[in-house]
Amino acid sequence: MATESANGVSSPELNERDVVITTNDNRNFTVKIGVARVSKTINNMIQDLGESLDLSSGIPLPNVDGPIFEKVLEWCEEHKNAPEIKVEQDPHTRERKWFTMTEWEEEYFRKFLSHLWDLAMAANYLEIPSLYYYTCQKLAERIKGRTPEQIREMFGIEDDLTEEEKAEIRRTNVWCTY
Amino acid sequence: MPIPNIPNEILHNILLSLDRNEIEKCQLICQKWLQLVDTFVDTLPLYKISVMVLEEEILSSSTLYMPNIIHVHVTLGRNFPLLSFDGKPYERDENVQESEAPLKIHEIDEDRIKALKCCVVEKCSNITTKSKNVEKAFSKLFEVGGQKITILNYQANEDLETFSKLTSNYINVKEKLKSTFEVNKFDEDNFFTNPPEIPTPPEKISLTLEIFQSNIYDQDLQKLTNLKLVEPQRYSLAFPWIHVSVDFFKNLTEFYLEANPTTLVNTMKFRNFYAGDFSDHDEPMGMAIKSFVEFLEGRKCPKFSINLAEYRCKKEAFGSFAKLKCSHRKDVYELKRTSKHVIQVQFFTDNDDFT
């Protein structure tokens, strides 16, 4: 019965079953439940729907488009059995300790370097901690060591600060080496 | 990679992976990032200053009619420039009481002192002087710059008053919270955006006492109890003098047996320097540890139970200790009154470890 198995969180048979997920551009993805569950948002939907879950008619994802979801699925497939990530920070400076990425993960981000913002937003909405935190770290990596001008150019940000404002920032940030 | 309309939550998460220097640099990107850093400032990473040292310097003037100039220098370690306070000269101005004379902050340094709010200091210490200027500088730094210090080494002057004041903030945490919640000051609506400031005490506070002679007097010990320490396990007392007699340990033990254990410092540090003539030893052993062992053996500690396993192992090591070079060594003993109340006695042969 679909009802019981949909509620059984760790049921191996259920993880092997397919679910259809529809993105906001009306693309249908047929995904193994075990893979889709890497997203906590989708997992919750599957559990909440319970008996009313119709695996064939699918789950709608109004906030994610097809091309990005495809990339997210690639991550989920690779991380379907991965343990929860551990976010650690320096107890004194509060600086987050950087995660060590596998060769596969490094390659993944190399491939989708121009989609980091979309991936971060999708991972945040879909609640995939590993993808969310790792993408944010990749973005931090892009910012690190670059000047404000270079960052603006890289992200296409308009410079809307006046010279006075910039001078004031420089004055108050006395310890900063730009 | 153009930036779409990114929610602040994500930008905040990115900032958490950067160090403080990068974060301040990001403020120069645009209005949005500037405000972002402002909004989340209480959660963002801080600068790390590894050592902060407060030291007084007296510049003698060239003429008789000009008073000496006093500077309190604050050394902040590599990458951070020196901070200076101008102390009002006290010696030649008899109308101004030394304790009343204010410390002037250089205009240029005011921003820098304020900026200490975004720093965490790993180790902070002062170098003893006879004047109160260093103590005043300490208070000023705490007041203006916040108190995020991991290890505080405080060298006490004649009195422990300033130290009490410095630590009173931590002591009053409970009262402060109580007044925040009970009196109408409690700002319910903004509790999460503007939470009440709770001072966090350093993880370790070492109080170095120059005030005692090797004979420890009751009133001196009484002062320690009067400090009203919160969580005394954070604190350690350091005795820098070289001659520590057997009687000192005897008095100390007796005092500790009678006093309320919850108000007493749990760790004692001694400098274990060779002092005196030990002609019957190949290598001299330090005076402090020698007195301590004599005390342990002579007194047999009827009320204190000694951590025997530790003592035996240390005693064995002691035989060979005399033959070792006395450097980079730290000996630790434990005196147990109850399982909950343990005094740790530490001996340092290396000066750097001690301070």
Q: What is the ipTM of this complex?
A: 0.90
Reported as a pLDDT band with limits 50, 70 and 90, residue B282 is very low
Q: Cβ of A148 and B118 within 8 Å?
A: no
Q: What is the mean pLDDT of residues A46-73?
A: 83
Judge whether A114 and B1 are in contact, CB under 8 Å.
yes
SS3 A45: helix
Please report the pLDDT score of residue A21 as a whole number: 92
- A80-132: pLDDT as tens digits: 999 999 999 998 889 999 999 999 999 999 999 999 999 999 999 999 999 99
Task: With 0.80 as the threshold, say if the pTM is over it.
Answer: no
Pairing of strands B305-306, A28-32: unpaired
Q: Cβ of A151 and B13 within 8 Å?
A: no
Q: Cβ of A169 and B28 within 8 Å?
A: yes
Q: CATH number of A2-144: 3.30.70.920, 3.30.710.10, 3.40.30.10, 3.40.50.300? A: 3.30.710.10
The answer, for B29 touching chain A at a CB cutoff of 8 Å, is yes
For residue A43, pLDDT beyond 70: yes
Report how far Cα A7 is from the mean position of its chain's Cα atoms.
Answer: 25
Q: Which of A143, A156, A170 sits opposite B22 (nearest CB)?
A: A143
The answer, for B27 touching chain A at a CB cutoff of 8 Å, is yes
Reported as a pLDDT band with limits 50, 70 and 90, residue B269 is confident
Q: Give A105 to chain B, closest Cα distance, Å.
A: 18
Taking phi over 0 as left and psi of -120 to 50 as alpha, with beta for the rest, B276 belongs to left
SS3 B283: coil
Alpha-carbon dihedral sign for residues A123, A124, A128, A134 = positive
Tell me which residues of chain A, numbers 75 to 104, contact chain B at a CB-CB cutoff of 8 Å.
89-90, 92-96, 98
Q: Minimal CA–CA distance to B34: which of A140, A167, A165?
A: A165
Residues of chain B positioned with their CB less than 8 A from the CB of A120: 6, 10
Q: Cβ of A143 and B148 within 8 Å?
A: no
Share of chain B above pLDDT 90, in %: 9
CB proximity list for B252: less than 8 A, separation 6 or greater:
B216, B221, B268
Tell me which residues of chain B, numbers 47 to 106, contact chain A at a CB-CB cutoff of 8 Å.
47-48, 79-80
- B224-268: pLDDT as tens digits: 777 767 677 788 888 776 667 777 777 777 777 777 777 778 788
The DSSP output letter for B19 is -
Alpha helix stretches (DSSP H) within chain B: 8-15, 20-26, 31-39, 107-114, 133-145, 161-171, 173-182, 218-226, 246-258, 287-299, 308-321, 351-354
Task: Tell which of A95, A110, A141 to mutate to test the B interface (max B CBs under 10 Å).
Answer: A95
For residue B285, pLDDT beyond 60: no
> Hey, what are B192's tokens?
């999460």
For residue A141, pLDDT beyond 60: yes
The answer, for B5 touching chain A at a CB cutoff of 8 Å, is no
- B244-256: pLDDT as tens digits: 777 777 777 777 7
Pairing of strands B69-75, B83-87: antiparallel
Q: Minimal CA–CA distance to B348: which of B268, B250, B264?
A: B268
Residues in chain A: 178
Determine phi and psi for B321, rounding to 5 degrees: -60, -40
Task: Tell which of A116, A139, A146, A171 to mutate to test the B interface (max B CBs under 10 Å).
Answer: A139
Q: Tell me the CA distances in angstroms from B148 to B49, B83, B171, B195, B305, one per residue in order.
A: 10, 18, 15, 17, 38
Q: Minimal CA–CA distance to A31: which of A3, A66, A62, A1?
A: A66
Strand A28-32's sheet: what is its strand order? A28-32, A18-23, A59-61
Please state, in angstroms and rounded to a whole number, the distance separating the CA atoms of residues B44 and B48. Answer: 13
Element (H or E) spanning A130, and its range? helix A129-143
Determine phi and psi for B236, rounding to 5 degrees: -140, 150
For residue A69, pLDDT beyond 80: yes
SS3 B151: strand
Instruction: Give the range among A32-41, A146-155, B129-138 with minimum mean pLDDT.
Output: B129-138
CB count in 10 Å sphere of residue B250: 15
Q: Which of A120, A160, A175 sits opposite B31 (nearest CB)?
A: A160
Tell me the CA end-to-end span of chain B in Å, nearest whole number: 52
Q: Cβ of B17 and A159 within 8 Å?
A: no
